[in-house]
Structure 1
Amino acid sequence: MMQWEQLLSLRKQGDSKQRLRADENETRLGFEVDYDRVIFSSAFRSLQDKTQVIPLSKTSFVHTRLTHSLEVSVVGRSLGRAVGKAILEKYPKLATECGYRFNDFGGIVAAAALAHDIGNPPFGHSGEKAIGDYFLNGSGKRFRDYLSEKEYQDLIDFEGNANGFKILTESKDGVQGGLRLTYATLGAFMKYPKQSLPKKPTDNVCDKKFGVFQSESAFFNEVADALGLIKRPDANGYVRHPLAYLVEAADDICYTIIDFEDGINLGLIEEEMALEYLINLVRGNLKTEVYYKLKTPQNRLAYLRALAINTLVTEATSIFLKNEEAILNGTFSEALLDSSQYKAQISDIIKISVEKIYRSDEVREKEIAGYNILYTLLDTFTSAFENYHNDVARPYDLLLLRTVSPTITKQDSVYKYLMESCGYISRLTDGSAVQIFQKVKGNL
């Protein structure tokens, strides 16, 4: 059974001694430092030009990955604080002997939620698919024989969650340990605490995707072991950190409600129909005397959105606390909202979003363009690394590699330089990917 004191570890990469909660500076706690380091990182700032729903959208009111991440963080903080208050009441020694406060739970979830999309490449999930498809079906197939089975799987199933863990933790440019976040925050960040192989689809939510590349597997295991996460030998991974369920719930709440709202603002979903679906979700908490005083659809939408988020936050908190022991034992295996009394209403909203937004002409057209852009960039940069690695680099290749890093060093393996190429491209914003694509094509 996992233990809360261990799960709330303040330890950071490279620490030589234990960090105790009782010794923390109350004006700037370690978990709050995590939040600050994420929000000031260049990888987080790049999310301002990565669109949440419509790739390359020029519409000002459509959410970017940055605004989405901030909203998920706010919802996650509320979830964490509500759960933390109940946990400290159940385990009072966490407060009296260890010094933990309910705000600590909120701080951990808020920081992890803030970072939850930090590894997403340009063009959203279609960007992940484009990178994977390049190595599976495109000219990236040529590298297959130079990679281990797990290394190749990392590439053909390129995963934003694993890339996020890499961005947060990898040593680069003389900075050891990346952002050096606490192990508690890294644990809450890891929604899928397993490697890309073995790939054994199950009903367990942990098996939906993977969360670590081979390049970070050693440190990943160190974090998981230090937190006391339970091993799942059959999956080559671990059960989730309990607070990862809250990060996931915060994301689920926001994309369900906010993406739906974006679809309305874009004119992809009719306002009257949308209001009806939201009313079905919040009917039990709706104050009709307040609602019908609101004269415009925009005000009604804003009221229903706030009420829907509050309803689902309360619901997710209740489900977590009801299943807390199963979560600590590693026997809870689904997303919190999958157990929700509102599951049918949530499914209805998501179904409309899929039909009207995610499969809209605008999304499809931009994803087609994104595929072509990422394919071209991957081919350009992997070829430059390949030529340099094989001592046949042209001046053009060296110019490209200096774009990736001012100081070029020969990589130790094919896997490393391929991950360097994917890492560089994944950090690009939608706009900068288009700009570099144009330059590669010779269009100044």
Structure 2
Amino acid sequence: MNWEQLLSLKRFGDTNKRLRKEQDETRLGFEVDYDRVIFSSEFRSLQDKTQVIPLSQTDFVHTRLTHSLEVSVVGRTLGRKAGQRLIEKYPHLQTVHGYQPNDFGAIVAAAALAHDIGNPPFGHSGEKAIGEFFKTGDGHMYKSELTEKEYQDLCDFEGNANGLKILTESRVGREGGLRLSYATLGAFMKYPKESLPKKPTKHIADKKYGFFQSEKKAFEDLVEELGLIKRGQNNDLSYSRHPLAFLVEAADDICYTIIDFEDGINLGLIPEEFALEYLINLVRDSIQTKKYHQLKTTQDRVSYLRALAINTLINEAVDVFMENEAKILKDSFGMALLDKSKYEAQINDIISISVNNIYLSKEVVDKEIMGYRVINTLLQTYVGAINKAFSGTASNYDKLILKSIAGKVDVNEESLYKRLLNVCSYVASLSDSQAILNYKKIEGLNI
């Protein structure tokens, strides 16, 4: 891979090449990507989607929206720091092509901002609930009518793949989706492969999948423009990661490791003394002990440690990235940046505490149970109605259900796979509260 291709400013539908040196510095193409994501309705819905604690009523617990904003801020710094060092290593990127260090920051920030845009309500349990509907629920009946890869898309419904669908899917008046630059779309794709085969290697890019069969052509166009390296065997589509995807992943890893831990302490799920015990190994070189002891509240003390820890991990991630940049360009680096970090043990300790005290807490488990019931009911109702309407057997009730989602799901789509996937994407687009409201209407409960 080479950086000239990887930094492509091309957008869907472009007929002429976009050159960096011809860009308006006050309205840079990569910065436009950020604006298009943040003004999208899909991004706004993240304000009412679970990050860790479902439907939390407290002020300081993160939603998908606040998490995404924070990941984008960390990603911007990661990109700028890496960009500065890449320009020093490849000066022609600046002198010949006009790229600046901040371009890298803008790409990573935009991709990081969008990284959760395809996630369903109720956190990762929402993805699992959609998959279970097709593995063991009513959706299993459609298996024989779908290709193996189409069925796998549904059984392992993936927020990353749904995100690419949102960002690239054409609809009336919005050709090419949000029309982001190919560089940003490449950085967005942490798992540039299709749903099968599952985990063919231990390479980090094979951990999950990144596009549905419905976006296959868009994916092929994208990887060709960016010059990504083919990894899949025979007809299986799998490609190397865009190098900046490693930085997007690192930004996410840094935020959920440190900030979920902070949320747990502020909620009282993790004792405050754990903060100093587990974070001190990350911040011992930068902490000002006197300042720390002057802070009066738990929230302020933990916030101070969090800021120092994030800064430490940002610098560490950039160092690991640059040390392995040549391998990354050859697709011979197969792990997350923080997995190569000298702080790996400390990070794993923090994650372990978060798993036991937050992710498996009674509050989270109880809300996830409710989420399964809500999502299963919505899929059962919408899938049944849309398929009966397509076959001409819809009841009056089915017709009423379809009126409630009119304009959001294409009832006349001829492909069964696309009808099923479009229903899943619609359910995934709902906020936690809207999903519960729709469920209550269907169940006839007081609202």
Residue 278 of structure 2 contacts residue 349 of structure 2 at CA under 8 Å; is this kept in 1?
yes
What residue identity is the alignment partner of 1:124? G
1:44-443 to 2 correspondences below 5 Å: 44-234=43-233, 236-406=237-407, 409-443=411-445
Residue 357 of structure 1 contacts residue 363 of structure 1 at CA under 8 Å; is this kept in 2?
yes
Quick one: distance in 1 between partners of 2:183 and 2:149?
27
What residue identity is the alignment partner of 2:319? S
Which digits, 9 at most, give the CA deviation of each residue in 1:12-53, with x for residues without a partner? 011111011111111111111100000000000000000211
Superposed structure 1 runs of 4+ greater than 4 Å apart: none
Residue 3 of structure 1 contacts residue 228 of structure 1 at CA under 8 Å; is this kept in 2?
yes
What residue identity is the alignment partner of 2:316? E
5+ unaligned residues in a row in structure 2: which ranges?
none
**1:237 is paired with a residue of what secondary structure?**
coil
Alpha-carbon deviation of 1:154?
Answer: 0.1
**2:294 is paired with a residue of what secondary structure?**
coil
Matched, 1:17 2:16: yes
Quick one: distance in 2 between partners of 1:393 and 1:223?
40
**1:333 is paired with a residue of what secondary structure?**
coil
Quick one: distance in 2 between partners of 1:202 and 1:358?
28
**1:292 is paired with a residue of what secondary structure?**
helix
**2:284 is paired with a residue of what secondary structure?**
helix
Q: Could you tell me which residue of structure 1 aligns to residue 6 of structure 2?
A: 7
Larger mean Cα displacement after TM superposition, 387-396 or 333-342: 387-396
Alpha-carbon deviation of 1:284?
Answer: 2.8
Quick one: distance in 1 between partners of 2:10 and 2:406?
30
Residue 198 of structure 1 contacts residue 236 of structure 1 at CA under 8 Å; is this kept in 2?
no
**1:233 is paired with a residue of what secondary structure?**
coil
Q: Compute the TM-score of the two structures, normalised by the length of structure 2.
A: 0.97
Quick one: distance in 1 between partners of 2:400 and 2:25?
48
Residue 199 of structure 2 contacts residue 207 of structure 2 at CA under 8 Å; is this kept in 1?
no
Quick one: distance in 1 between partners of 2:368 and 2:199?
29
Which digits, 9 at most, give the CA deviation of each residue in 1:143-177, with x for residues without a partner? 11110000000000000000000011101233111
Larger mean Cα displacement after TM superposition, 11-20 or 195-204: 195-204
Quick one: distance in 2 between partners of 1:392 and 1:95?
62
Aligned-CA RMSD value? 1.2
Quick one: distance in 2 between partners of 1:31 and 1:283?
36
Alpha-carbon deviation of 1:409?
Answer: 4.5
Which digits, 9 at most, give the CA deviation of each residue in 1:387-408, with x for residues without a partner? 0111112232223223333385
Residue 193 of structure 1 contacts residue 210 of structure 1 at CA under 8 Å; is this kept in 2?
yes
Q: Compute the TM-score of the two structures, normalised by the length of structure 1.
A: 0.98
- Residue-pair matches, total: 443
